[in-house]
């Protein structure tokens, strides 16, 4: 939670409006998809979403991000994970950046 708050402060310092996404499954009684931050790029009809997942440990899963990508693929510009590892672009198109690069978004 502390790591997510620090990232939120960096994003708002860059004048981003922060949104999040949550999809609850009544059958499973849990969240199916939970995205930490969604940034908006563009204006009007060309508006695209940039989902961001924040991971504080070096081992994590990207299940929610991949489900979000599958569901909203036409409205997504890029997908990001902010984590404690080095910069990487995964084969599935997710861009992984270290926390100190958050100001680049």
Specify the CATH number for the domain of residue 86: 3.40.1350
- Predicted confidence at residue 40, as pLDDT, reads 86
Nearest residue to 78 (alpha-carbon basis) of 105, 99, 50, 103: 50
Range of the domain at 22: 2-104
| Tens place of pLDDT per residue across the chain (105 aa) | 888 999 999 999 999 999 999 988 777 777 788 999 999 876 666 788 999 999 988 888 888 999 999 998 888 889 999 999 999 999 988 999 999 999 988
Q: How far, in Å, CA of 79 to CA of 20, rounded?
A: 14
- Predicted confidence at residue 29, as pLDDT, reads 74
91: which residues sit within 8 A by CB, 6+ positions away?
none
- Predicted confidence at residue 25, as pLDDT, reads 74
What's the number of domains the chain is made of? 1
């Amino acid at each position: 939670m502390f790591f997510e708050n620090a990232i939120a402060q960096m994003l708002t310092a860059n004048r981003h409006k922060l949104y999040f996404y949550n999809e609850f499954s009544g059958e499973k009684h849990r969240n199916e998809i939970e995205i930490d931050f969604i940034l908006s790029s563009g204006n009007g009809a060309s508006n695209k979403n940039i989902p961001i997942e924040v991971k504080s440990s070096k081992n994590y899963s990207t299940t929610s991000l991949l489900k979000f990508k599958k569901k909203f693929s036409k409205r997504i510009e890029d997908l990001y994970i902010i984590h404690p590892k080095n910069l990487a672009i995964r084969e599935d198109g997710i861009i992984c950046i270290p926390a100190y690069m958050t100001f680049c978004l």
